[in-house]
Structure 1
Amino acid sequence: MRAAVVTTFGGPESVRVVETELPEPGARQVRIKVAAAALNPVDAGVRAGAFGGAGKQLGFGWDVAGTVDATGVATAWQVGDEVIALDHGMIKPLGTHAEYVVVDTDAVAKAPEGVDAAHATTLPLNALTAVQALDLLELTPGQSLLVTGAAGAVGGFAVQLAAHRGVLVTGLARADDEEFVRALGAAEFTTDGVPAGSVDAVLDAAILGERALEWVRDGGVFAGVIPQAAPASVRGVRTGAVEVSADGARLAELVRLVEEGVLTLRVAETYALEDAAKAHARLAEGGVRGRLVLVP
């Protein structure tokens, strides 16, 4: 099968599409024939060597939408099931940017009905990151939350999920994103931030760090999206950062929210698998709204 990999760290030109052996599912695993796989900033980090793995073949891709092609023992999934999944991990020889991928059965959820594969694959990594970050915040209806990077993939899901829970959301993004961010459910919008200590919580999808921490009230809570990179606690503010985990049951809940119209799936552009390097180059240019998606 074909797969996008990197063997020497570098820019988009270091991405290669190679022929490799078809992976076989083990116990409690399924093999998925990939219909679409999203490209995320973490893939650029893998390509550049940010997570290590020098001298190894490293695969790209965490998100997948496709069809179950083979199963190991002890799985409830059947060949032919249309699914989505999160293939967790930075250092792996193959990812979802391939024609087939093997994932743990507990990472899989039924694909949302009425949604094409390109849009469905934008859900797992970014929506799970958003919902697990919100879990860290433990907000109740009526409390206030500032989401930085509110027009981005993680931030956009966070705005929608928080608003759906009755949280009062302020979205921080560029001025020309205001209409979009408000349409996601943000009650307020800002391009510069809010008065110091004026919100109960911040979900820092834009990775502003200590600057965003200043906006949280004394005794409030801050959640970042880079593991082990949250700023130190000040003024009694509880700080932490989400380390996203694969969770098929939680992913199924997010699928239901897609089907109910609560969550919006956004695709910026699609690329053939053999054009993976071009997709990386487009990601590196910045300014992407929605996800770039590879289609084998």
Structure 2
Amino acid sequence: MRAAVVTEFGGPEAVRIVEDAVPEPGARQVRIKVAAATLNPVDAGVRAGAFGGAGTRMGLGWDVAGTVDAVGVAAAWHVGEEVVALQYGVAKTLGAHAEYVVVDADAVAKAPVSADAVHAATLPLNALTAAQALDLLELRPGQSLLVTGAAGAVGGFAVQLAAAAGVAVTGLARAGDEELVRSLGASGFVTEGTDAGFDAVLDAAVLGERALAWVRDEGAYAGVIPQAEPASVRGVRVGAVEVSPDGARLAELARLLDEGVLTVRVAEVFPLDDAVEAHARLAEGGVRGRLVLVP
């Protein structure tokens, strides 16, 4: 089978398409025949060496939509089921940017029925990150939340999930994204800093101390890069999410997509063989929606 990997760090040109054996599922694992897999900033980080691993082969791709192709012992899935999944981790020789991928069975959820595979593939990593970051904030209905990077993938899901939970959401993004951010459920919108003291900030734009300043005393801050959150000040509770696979939670998010609570956005679709071009497009910036690879 074909798979996208990096064997040395660099720019988009470092991505290679290689031939490899089709992986076999172990106990409590399933093999998915990939229909679509999303390209995310974390893949660019792996490619550039941000997570280490020099001298080894590293597979690319975290989230996937496709069809169960084989099941290991004690894996409660059936061949032919359409699913989505998160294949977590940077230290892997094969990722979801391949024709087949093996994932733990408890990281898998039934695919949403309202979205095709290309759109469904954009759900796992970013929606789980947003949901788990909101868990850290422990907000109640009526409380106020500022989401930085509200027009991005994680930020957009955070706006939708928080608004659906009755939280008063303000989105921070570029001026041209106001209509989009408000359509996601934000009742407020800003393009710069604000003097308002929010009950919490979900810092999807990774602004760090700048964003922390917008939290009220003894409020809460959640970052999206593990162990990169700013130090606490003024009694603000500070943390950062490290996304984890969770098939049950992913199933809930798929249900919310089917119910219209969540929306998914695809910017462009690339054949797997054009992974270098997809990485180059991601590096250009300004992408609204996700880039998706199709084997």
Supply the distance in 1 between the matched residues of 2:85 and 2:168 (Cα, whole angstroms).
30
Q: Quick check: 1:75 aligned with 2:79?
A: no
Q: What's the offset of the Cα at 1:193?
A: 2.2
Secondary structure class of the residue paired with 2:38: strand
The within-5 A match list for 1:8-47 is 8-47=8-47
Q: In the alignment, is the contact (CA less than 8 A) between 2:153 and 2:290 conserved in 1?
A: yes
Q: For residue 217 of structure 2, what is the amino acid of its counterpart?
A: D
Secondary structure class of the residue paired with 1:133: helix
Secondary structure class of the residue paired with 1:79: coil
Match of 2:127 in 1: 127
Match of 2:202 in 1: 203
Query: TM-score normalised to the size of structure 1?
Result: 0.99
Q: For residue 94 of structure 1, what is the amino acid of its counterpart?
A: L
Match of 1:170 in 2: 170
Supply the distance in 2 between the matched residues of 1:193 and 1:259 (Cα, whole angstroms).
35
Match of 2:272 in 1: 273
- RMSD (CA atoms): 0.5
Q: For residue 201 of structure 2, what is the amino acid of its counterpart?
A: V
Map Cα deviations across residues 132-181 of structure 1 (whole Å, 9 max, x no partner): 00000000000000000000000000000000000000000000000000
Match of 1:249 in 2: 248
Supply the distance in 1 between the matched residues of 2:169 and 2:131 (Cα, whole angstroms).
14
Q: What's the offset of the Cα at 1:75?
A: 1.3
Supply the distance in 1 between the matched residues of 2:194 and 2:108 (Cα, whole angstroms).
39
Supply the distance in 2 between the matched residues of 1:225 and 1:139 (Cα, whole angstroms).
17
The within-5 A match list for 1:276-287 is 276-287=275-286
Match of 2:85 in 1: 85
Match of 1:112 in 2: 112
Supply the distance in 1 between the matched residues of 2:124 and 2:156 (Cα, whole angstroms).
14
Match of 2:2 in 1: 2
Supply the distance in 2 between the matched residues of 1:65 and 1:71 (Cα, whole angstroms).
16
Match of 1:215 in 2: 214
Supply the distance in 1 between the matched residues of 2:60 and 2:254 (Cα, whole angstroms).
23
Map Cα deviations across residues 207-246 of structure 1 (whole Å, 9 max, x no partner): 0000000000000000000000110000000000000000
Map Cα deviations across residues 100-145 of structure 1 (whole Å, 9 max, x no partner): 0000000000000021100000000000000000000000000000
Match of 1:227 in 2: 226
Q: For residue 259 of structure 2, what is the amino acid of its counterpart?
A: E
Query: TM-score normalised to the size of structure 2?
Result: 0.99
Q: What's the offset of the Cα at 1:76?
A: 1.2
Q: For residue 24 of structure 2, what is the amino acid of its counterpart?
A: E
Supply the distance in 2 between the matched residues of 1:254 and 1:6 (Cα, whole angstroms).
31
Supply the distance in 2 between the matched residues of 1:170 and 1:263 (Cα, whole angstroms).
17
Identity of aligned residues (%): 79
Q: For residue 106 of structure 1, what is the amino acid of its counterpart?
A: D
Q: For residue 43 of structure 1, what is the amino acid of its counterpart?
A: D
Supply the distance in 1 between the matched residues of 2:47 and 2:198 (Cα, whole angstroms).
37
Q: What's the offset of the Cα at 1:91?
A: 1.4
Q: Quick check: 1:139 aligned with 2:139?
A: yes
Structure 1: tracts of 5 or more residues without a match: none
Give the count of matched residue pairs. 295
Secondary structure class of the residue paired with 2:219: strand
Q: For residue 59 of structure 1, what is the amino acid of its counterpart?
A: G
Q: In the alignment, is the contact (CA less than 8 A) between 2:114 and 2:257 conserved in 1?
A: no
Structure 2: tracts of 5 or more residues without a match: none
